[in-house]
Chain A
Amino acid sequence: MSEQTLAAAPAGTGLLPRLAWRRLAVFTGLLGLWQAYALWLGNPLLLPTVDTTFAALWSGFASGELVDRTLASLRVLLVGYAGGVAVAALLASFAALSRWGDDALGVLTSMFNPLPAVALLPIALLWFGIGMPSIVFVIIHSVAWPLAVAGHTGFRSVAPTLRMAARNMGLSGPRFVVEILVPAAFPQILSGLRIGWAFAWRTLIAAELVFGTSSQSGGLGWFIYINRAQLETPSVFAGLAVIILIGLLVEGLLFRSVSRLTVQRWGQEQS
């Protein structure tokens, strides 16, 4: 009983505000350095100050343009991410259930994991034309392989005793994967999902910088590209700030909550 209360205490009120406070200090420090250097440099075309960047951010949101761009990017991102997760789930499950799947995944990941997603963009353009399907294709490619590798590694590190206990209870096939392997390998799967999320963002912005989806419905990458061409540097920085903010939000709210509700509660990972 005492062990339980001990384990629960640090995750509660004590540690979290302190952690958030330190993070906030680092964040403010960076902003201060940026502002100081920008003022000293005095060249807003190269490096705008923090306040002009935030002004650009504000006017971008107020005019609705930045909101549209962000939503366009997020839509493509989510479709591609979901596709990548589905492909990775299929591959890793197949690999967990059969020797053939195991070898197939090994060959496929060693071929495609090192291949930058953007390098596939020319091919995607040929196959799917300019537009959302091409970007979704390269995002799937960027998410699927690292996530499949993470899932597969996670599945393989599930304790033999746990596997035997599950088989003893009559579990096999897809149910064994979904009900035993996935939760048991969840720490690795969660870190694979995080990595996949970051890769998806990078690929999306890179692809949009190359050609946009189309000038009307382009996303944040397109916004950055156009503003750079028009020497609207504060807006370029505003576009970057939005990407960073979304990243912080997704990490801070989504992944951290999932982690707290799963692997930390199950004792598979320390908080």
Chain B
Amino acid sequence: MSGLVLEFDSGLAAAKAVPPLLSVTAVTVRYRSGSRDVTAVSDVSLDLAAGERLVLLGPSGCGKSTLLRAIGGFIRPATGHIELKGEAVLGPSPERMTVFQEFDQLLPWKTVEENVAYGLRRARGLPRAEAREVARNWIGRVGLADFAHAHPHTLSGGMKQRVAIARAFAIKPRLLLLDEPFAALDALTRRRMQDELLALCEDTQVTAIFVTHGIDEAIRVGTRILTFSPHPGRIIASHKVSDDERRRGSRAFAGLEARLQEKLFDGRDNADV
């Protein structure tokens, strides 16, 4: 169990010599809302080493999703730059697959299997037969083998998110971006999905950034948590999550939850909007 922490620490040590997988430097993102410019993210810098699972945690409107979209290449920052393996991020790419919160990220005219296989063919250029085989494997891993030939509209919300997760994992991105993927699910489903996602991440050693406003979710899925302040979004603090703390119901879990809560709300009235 402590092996992960060791790996994580050695990863940090190596980061001094090897450039980080992702580096975000002094990024500010603005967007126009009506006639005025709104600064969603202000002067954010962060580095991410391979194998890390970074959680961006903050209240609604703190710009964490906007920052994720910028890393995904969907929005261009006003200032600063984002680099993946030393290459500037200029647009969306299968190297940085995003799993969105909304259920309509799947292609409704394709079955579960076709959705995953289509991603593999377009993003990784796999031939049809191979794409289907890899897709089938991943659909099995997210527990949807019985639904491989169902169309998305016949699935529940949780199942749709599993398909999106399978599609993203199957493509094997260098960096997996998860934008509140469980926010629209009921509490029980969300909890189960968190555990399953954690297992998949540990299996594949994927590097990921996970956006959420759930403190318990952040602790459960992350190896490091960045807390954000709202309007405009800034990083308040960084916390590493140990294996002890990740165990649900443990004293360490509750302790970290309380500390994060304090950090986030920090006596400010506007933080609980």
- List the interface of chain A (C-beta within 8 A of B): 1, 3-4, 7, 159, 161-162, 164-165, 167-171, 180, 183-184, 186, 262, 265-268
Q: Chain B contacts of A7 at CB under 8 A?
A: 153-154
State whether the Cβ of B108 lies closer than 8 Å to any Cβ in chain A: yes
By a beta-carbon cutoff of 8 Å, the part of chain B in contact with chain A is 72, 74, 91-94, 96-98, 100, 102, 104-109, 118-119, 122-123, 146, 150-156, 164, 171
* A183/B107 in contact, CB under 8 A: yes
Q: List 13 A-B contacts (CB under 8 A).
A: A1-B146, A159-B104, A162-B107, A164-B92, A165-B105, A165-B164, A168-B93, A170-B92, A170-B123, A183-B107, A265-B151, A266-B151, A267-B152
Of all chain A residues, the one with the shortest Cβ separation from B152 is: A267
Docked complex Cα distance between A1 and B146 (Å): 9
Given pairs A164-B74, A268-B109, 13 additional interface contacts (CB within 8 A): A3-B154, A7-B153, A161-B100, A164-B105, A167-B74, A167-B91, A168-B94, A169-B119, A169-B122, A184-B108, A266-B108, A267-B152, A268-B153
Least Cβ–Cβ distance between B253 and chain A, in angstroms: 32
Contact B100 A165 (CB under 8 A): yes
Q: What are the residues of chain B within 8 A of A169 when measuring CB–CB?
A: 94, 118-119, 122-123, 171
With CB as the reference atom, state the residue of chain B lying closest to A186.
B109
Contact assessment for B107 and A180 in the assembled complex, using a CB-CB cutoff below 8 Å: yes
B109/A262 in contact, CB under 8 A: yes
Contact A161 B105 (CB under 8 A): yes
Contact A170 B122 (CB under 8 A): yes
A165–B119 CA distance with the chains assembled, in angstroms: 9
In the complex, the chain A residue whose C-beta lies closest to that of B173 is A168
A7-B154, A161-B100, A165-B100 known; A268 vs B123 contact (CB < 8 Å)? no
| Contact indicator A4/B92 (Cβ below 8 Å) | no
**Beta-carbon contact of B92 and A266 below 8 Å:** no
Contact A170 B154 (CB under 8 A): no
Give Cα A164 to B146, complex, Å: 28
Which residues of B sit under 8 angstroms from A159, Cβ to Cβ?
A: 102, 104
Q: Which of A4, A165, A268 contacts B150 (CB 8 A)?
A: A4
Given A4-B154, A167-B74, does the pair A183, B92 have CB atoms closer than 8 Å?
A: no
- Interchain CB contact (< 8 A) of B93 among A1, A162, A170, A265: A170
Closest 6 CB pairs between A and B? A267-B153, A161-B102, A165-B105, A159-B104, A167-B92, A4-B154
Expressed in whole angstroms, the Cα–Cα distance for A1 and B152 within the complex equals 12
Per the bound structure, the CA–CA distance linking A159 and B146 in Å amounts to 28
Question: Least Cβ distance of A64 to chain B in Å?
Answer: 44
Specify which chain A residues have a CB less than 8 angstroms from the CB of B150 in the assembled complex: 4
